[in-house]
Structure 1
Amino acid sequence: MQSVRSFTSALALGAILIGSQAFAKSDITIAMQLEPPHLDPTSAAAQAIDSVVYTNVFEGLTRFMGDGSVVPGLAESWEISDDGKVYTFKLRDGVTFHDGTAMDAEDVKFSLDRATAEDSTNAQKALFAGIESVEVVDPLNLKVTLKEPNGNFLFNLAWGDAVIVAPESIENIKTNPVGTGAFTFDNWVQGDSITLKRNPNYWGEEPALESATFKFISDPTAAFAAMMAEDIDAFDNFPAPENLPQFEADPRFQVLVGSTEGETILSTNNKQPPFDDIRVRQALAHAIDRQAIIDGAMFGYGTPIGTHFAPHNPAYVDLTGVSAYDPEKSRALLAEAGFEGGFETTLHLPPPSYARRGGEIIAAQLADVGIKAEIINVEWAQWLESVFKGKDFGLTIVSHTEPMDIGIYARPDYYFQYDSTDFQALMDTLNSTTDPDERTKLMGEAQRLISNDYVNGFLFQLAKLGVAKAGIQGLWENAPTAAIDLTAISWSE
């Protein structure tokens, strides 16, 4: 009788074990604070687009890894001519788009030509301005000729703005993205979530996840409640840093604290009076207490910056002293510029916590020196339309999460409208320089120039604050680009 019970128990135990293996968790729900305006990373500046589709749906010739390195993507290898101007790429064989069509050199040419076209809407069109021609050698080989050598070219090709798209599916790319990545677009419930499914025909290593849902939760209080209730599995860039100690003390969760490429700045409209006067911009900078903003809005998470450059970059120069907090100096500069009684302006704040919370603190600091900033809270789509595109603002707060993007200051038509021929010439020299030591020197000069011109109020480097269930592996701790890379994520047994 005992042996029968033992045999029965063994069968039951085996069924449990088999069942646990059969139903091992292979899906994930990851929350984000912002919903993308659409899903075409090659025609908008919204970070939320790349967060969903970078590497997962769309891939480029090269790609960023979680440690910031640039590795081959759809390009298996490449050769660079002796003069540094011709790149010959060998593409991976057997790669198909999600609709079953082959990915070949014609698609790469289409993508690069589209990015460089006169009517291109690519938010980072300047990345491709140095391309002189793109020539298809054969289906798996193509040649890209540059006008001048560019030491950043392979780095630039890793951006989400440089992913490869196909002419057959470009018409509906914003709502039905068709790429070559490890996941296919499945469904978008506007205002709620986007779902991706594993691509059964992926050319690379099969991901552990079968599906992933990106859930949009904008309110920090709701984010905390959803995470604590385990309604979601992870929250990328958790918007309520004050709650992190509670998650750290709870064995159900893990907290991932790293860095991003996000220079958080008080963006200033350099062509709008009175900000076209460097004395006013300097006064603005000296009115800001960075540490108070980091402590008050980010609960201590963040690194003060004095220029538009990431502190973890080896070429970083600490220039925080150039714009040190000094309200008396700020008032004196305003008086010298003819604004002894101060002036009024607008402060547009997009939804992220660093902007809304930081904006309240900055408005109070500016008021202390006589600058009355009217806070205007805007949704992300409104910010893109009125501030980024329309340049209709005085001040705004935003974190620039693109990697090594100091080159934006060489674009006079960029939304903060800084126009310096000296800086533009410096960027031209940097782009044509390949010697590492000389590039470091030039990057230092670039940092000093925009710091001394007080182009923007440089605040802090955004920390990456992630919260996830304890069993999840493979999440990026740092964010070398805006991405939630699903390809390496798995659940521990």
Structure 2
Amino acid sequence: MTNSILTNRRQLLAGMSAFAAAGLLHGMPTHAQASRQGGKFRYAIVGASISDAFDPSTFADIAPGMMSWQSRSNLVELGADLKLKPELAESFEGTDQARKWVFKLRKGVEFHNGKSLTPEDVIFSLSLHTRPDSKSSIKPTLDGIADMKADGKDTLIITLKEPNADFPFALADYHAQIVPAGTTNFNDGIGTGPYVMKAFDPGVRCTGTRFANYWKEGHGNFDEVECLAISDSTARMNALSTGDLDAVMFVDLKTLGLIERNPAIKVIKVQSGAHMTLPMHVNVAPFDNNDVRQALKYALDRQELVDKLLRGNAVVGNDHPIPPSSPYYAADIPQRAYDPEKTRFHLKKAGLDKLSVQLSASNVILDIGSDTASLYRESAAKAGIDIEIVQEPADSYWSNVWQKKPFCKSYFGARPTPDGIFSLAYGTNAPWNESFWSNARFDELMKQGRAELDEAKRKEIYGEMQRILNEEGGTIIPLFPAVIDATSDKIATGTVAGNLNMDGGRAADRWWFA
């Protein structure tokens, strides 16, 4: 089947083998030959919490994952083109219609404590996510594993309960970092990554020094790294402007034009599938009524958010998480636009003349969470909906608000496949199901999509899933913002990945001082 995912995967791997034979592919970016070592890299991120820990299965946000990636690696990683590249696995192959996956581990890879990497370390690390109490975002995918076993010292065989053509993509997620087998003190940060962790203060900072035996040529270039959690956008941008920081996550869009005119600062802007969400708990009134949810969806002026707050650095969303740039995007679904009359129509169907709700917000969401809430309140008021904004503290937002308050602001980084985000946040048993929404047809289609190897049929399946979410889902998805970060002009990068901020979360590994 020439268009099958598995066939394409074999072609991809064949190409990788050819590059490897020529000495051109060892997880190295195209800038590897130009990079140089030295210096202390200081960068600021957003989203860290005082409750963060370094057990990868507990990461509730990219912030602890990014800090941990300073010290750890995955079996595979996503490149700037969002295609899979070998990392700790030098090769991988799916057989038996994507039911069986074989990973060949790199020889000679060491953990920071001197232990050599073995299949048992990978088995232990992946098993962390399948514990009954795990809330890991990759639990739904890894729960599909029937068996993991070593075949010699360097080969891991994973057999799935059902076919899943996208299975390796889950292993590139920031939750799937590899730790030594038997680890109990995860906060020591031991891994196979570029830097040996020196200090970790949850919600504040994480520091490290270069690992002398790091295997990845052209990476881990800094002598030292210091990752700081700074939620205040003004403080971040001031520190970058004065030279106290070398890079920042999330540029303040209000001052983007000013920043772009500063010759000492480089703005990194990548359009991606990252998206803002407003989840409504469908198990709580009034959000248990789909007409109320529809009314709230029509009451938001999405284009106004893009124009006024994002300064055009986003595309409008249509209440499903698949971006227009995706080959699986369902372009036949009419774009939902701001419509006060339709809002009133759905309120009337719900038996309401007007509606009052509370919306929890914080600028931890893209630095504009509170501002978007204010504009939403204004547009909704014109349609008979009163939105009371509850300002929430940034440092405890993910632990005390998200998935706890019935209507709030949220945000997801891009996932490389539709199943990656569907199984994470929209399936009935998805660990990050923000709205607690459940739909039997959606769950069945999700299962079909994983196993389907024909691209045309897969697109049809994912199209129906997008329609269900658009018409019945519990989440408003107003926009897909560009990923916008900034560095000093002293920092050099290759082609930057846009699936997550800071080069896919790997800035400390991939960048260097020019």
Q: Residue deviations 1:352-411, cap 9 Å, x none?
A: 3131221121122223323233322223563333444xx432211111115141232113
Q: Residue deviations 1:55-107, cap 9 Å, x none?
A: x3221211112221111111111233233211122111111111111210111
Query: In structure 1, what is the Cα distance between the partners aligned to 2:240 and 2:154?
Result: 46
CA 151–291 in structure 1, closer or farther in 2 if over 3 Å, else same: same
How much does 1:35 deviate? 2.5
CA 98–411 in structure 1, closer or farther in 2 if over 3 Å, else same: farther
1:370 alignment partner in structure 2: 384
SS of equivalent to 2:437:
coil
Query: In structure 2, what is the Cα distance between the partners aligned to 1:478 and 1:340?
Result: 47
CA 233–374 in structure 1, closer or farther in 2 if over 3 Å, else same: same
1:290 alignment partner in structure 2: 302
How much does 1:486 deviate? 2.1
Letter in 2 for 1:480: N
1:75-94 equivalences under 5 Å are 75-94=89-108
How much does 1:223 deviate? 2.2
Choose the corresponding residue for 1:436, options 450, 455, 458: 455
Query: In structure 2, what is the Cα distance between the partners aligned to 1:187 and 1:332?
Result: 56
Q: Residue deviations 1:107-153, cap 9 Å, x none?
A: 11112222223233423311212111111222211211101110111
Letter in 2 for 1:227: L
1:115-264 equivalences under 5 Å are 115-168=129-182, 170-173=183-186, 175-189=187-201, 192-207=204-219, 208-238=221-251, 240-264=252-276
SS of equivalent to 1:202:
coil
Q: CA RMSD in A?
A: 2.2
> Is 1:309 matched up with 2:322?
yes
Q: Structure 2: 5+ residue runs without aligned partners?
A: 1-35
How much does 1:206 deviate? 4.9
SS of equivalent to 1:261:
coil
1:360 alignment partner in structure 2: 374
Choose the corresponding residue for 2:498, options 466, 472, 479: 479
The share of aligned pairs that are identical, in percent, is 26
Contact 2:206 2:226 in 1 (8 A): yes
Contact 2:120 2:181 in 1 (8 A): no
CA 41–479 in structure 1, closer or farther in 2 if over 3 Å, else same: farther
How much does 1:298 deviate? 2.3
SS of equivalent to 1:271:
coil
| Larger Rg belongs to | 1
How much does 1:318 deviate? 4.0
CA 182–312 in structure 1, closer or farther in 2 if over 3 Å, else same: same
CA 189–157 in structure 1, closer or farther in 2 if over 3 Å, else same: closer
> Is 1:29 matched up with 2:42?
yes
1:459 alignment partner in structure 2: 478
CA 365–199 in structure 1, closer or farther in 2 if over 3 Å, else same: same
Contact 1:111 1:164 in 2 (8 A): yes
Letter in 1 for 2:406: G
1:5 alignment partner in structure 2: none
SS of equivalent to 2:447:
helix
Q: Structure 1: 5+ residue runs without aligned partners?
A: 1-22
SS of equivalent to 1:68:
coil
1:363-442 equivalences under 5 Å are 363-380=377-394, 382-388=396-402, 391-403=403-415, 404=417, 405-407=421-423, 408-412=425-429, 414-442=433-461
Query: In structure 1, what is the Cα distance between the partners aligned to 2:237 and 2:128?
Result: 42
How much does 1:488 deviate? 2.4
1:325 alignment partner in structure 2: 338
Letter in 1 for 2:376: I
Contact 1:263 1:309 in 2 (8 A): no
SS of equivalent to 2:124:
helix
Contact 2:194 2:211 in 1 (8 A): yes
Q: Residue deviations 1:207-242, cap 9 Å, x none?
A: 32111211222212222322221221111222x112
How much does 1:189 deviate? 4.5
> Is 1:489 matched up with 2:482?
no
SS of equivalent to 1:276:
coil
Moved more, 429-438 or 34-43: 34-43
Query: In structure 1, what is the Cα distance between the partners aligned to 2:328 and 2:491?
Result: 34
TM-score, normalised with respect to structure 2: 0.85
Letter in 2 for 1:98: H
TM-score, normalised with respect to structure 1: 0.88
Query: In structure 2, what is the Cα distance between the partners aligned to 1:411 and 1:185?
Result: 38
Query: In structure 1, what is the Cα distance between the partners aligned to 2:101 and 2:445?
Result: 24
SS of equivalent to 2:151:
strand
Q: Residue deviations 1:316-370, cap 9 Å, x none?
A: 2347744211012101211221110323334343623131221121122223323
Aligned residues, how many? Answer: 464
CA 121–381 in structure 1, closer or farther in 2 if over 3 Å, else same: farther
Letter in 2 for 1:164: I
How much does 1:33 deviate? 2.7
